[in-house]
Structure 1
């Protein structure tokens, strides 16, 4: 005999999470310009299969224990060596392997933030990071980006005002300075230097999310924020964009005081030790730099195809920054356009995107005239057809709104 259960009171700090960018659409012919996914045909499947088999046969009994085998140590050494390209010179005990860079965001937030503490972000910002800050009950303040990255001059004005008027200084500022998600922009070198100067002067941390820096279309390199001020920068990166996201391996680099606390919060012990064993075997055999160069060539071509399609199908109805790397193009429409209002029509026509408001602190009031497109996951043909379908949805929306006024 069953009885109806009374409603249960869940923790109020857990916010409601809306569907992002029609991600629930599963039709096989649907074009997912919303998916910030790596190109699946570029995954090193054969080498991963070999590495997995080697991990089992050579180290399986150790690798399947809690502490793992030699693989995790090899992964740390690889990260340590590769980080030197970003002028990051650290001991391996300053590196923590994480479940993707998103866990690094969560760990940093739990280490630094008490309810009511202030976290500053870019506008727009990565929606999963915003979710982590909301769960932590942080007070979130955002600062706009332009073609040179976040407006550091406005951050400085806010810091001066906070100090002068007894307001709270942020615990940290979260930024994606290189090939920003979703903006596609890169923080200029003068702004990088200004930002770390402010962190030093006002004593706050910078959380540097560097997930896309390997995907460098222009060849121009930018100094990591960590390299400019390691004492107050927490650096995040990931294998998701350069090998495969399903590995769920990223890393955090920080001062040892941060790493000590992060390890205390990492209740499950070492992260994915068997997966790390596989990755270590892969990296032993992998011509990694040629692989990165093939990724760059592919994604640069995809970016160019998307940019050309946008110019062809939208004309002067949109503006955007041509990215120097990464996965994304961020479209800006005229202020009266609300991209959320043609999200469903676009999905019905067979294409998904992420509406701009998903990337803002105040989703009800901000971002309505923007949308994000991802060029990494789909084929060139799908990009062309997807942008055309999106333009059809937009112009149908525009015609409808004009006729109703």
Structure 2
């Protein structure tokens, strides 16, 4: 039914749980699986890639490979999942990947929105807001990899693509799915390829989902994916009711849902690499609560294995006297800029992500069965270091932050901006 391609790992878990929450049987894989992989019954496939900040040609190649895989498994609607803060640079990678996907699927228009009201991300008249302020006035302006200095999304996207962008404004959205469809057709007739749909409430996303649920390619954050899932599930239930009535003359209850597995237990550790304002709050909350904490210092050693070995040696002194220790590389903006100035932005990021991956592998060897990761790039590095192919969507620790259940480990992959300040304060057993 739906094949979702996410540009980072935490985004993949976010969209997977949005689809799962609204009744779709959802499978999540880290990277494009092998062609001969046997799949259980499902309504949605989610492929987690790590393409947000890699060279755009590589991002396109990986995204097209994922597209081929989900289409080969019967996905008739493709969903390109990007961050609700539209994380990108003037070069991409949102625009180049969208261009490639739209060409491959052969569609004249792609409708989208990064709006995710439950996370404080809303789009109004084409401008993206983070909480009560325009995106460019939020902490995203200081993002170490994708600083967002323009809040007007058509302008941001036009800089990344050879195609034109337009807006479906909120007054049109509030008139319902038919009005949205009419506006999309008018934009298409004007030569617009990418239509950014305003949404400031979940009801706006529900209306958009109804208008877009038959489009072959849609893009956005998890909020719109939830709107699509609601529309698909409603159509599925309606078809089942009609079928039952045709056979028996009696309606059947229009119910759907899942019984989630219980929260995982076991030895836990927290790995934080995000430098977002919310992750910094969460790290501070752990330290204030007295949790053991160790900071990876990129300036002390420019060798990922050395940094990891020292962190694991520290960890070995913390257990079992203390619970759920924290290993982190998160830094406030001033300190982060100093590290980047001295080592280079890409080199410092690569060094610390690799070190956290090595730490994760060492923790798994030490019988840690629950790993909590803060940050999309961090999560990707950890999953790859562990060699995990994918997992089942489990219960949510916070809205849009589900546990991923694998045979050997339970993972909580948290986007840098997600969760309350106390989210990382998990119990050790």
TM (norm. structure 2) is 0.32
More helix by share: 1
More strand by share: 2
Choose between structure 1 and 2 for higher RCO, CA contacts under 8 A separated by at least 6 residues: 1
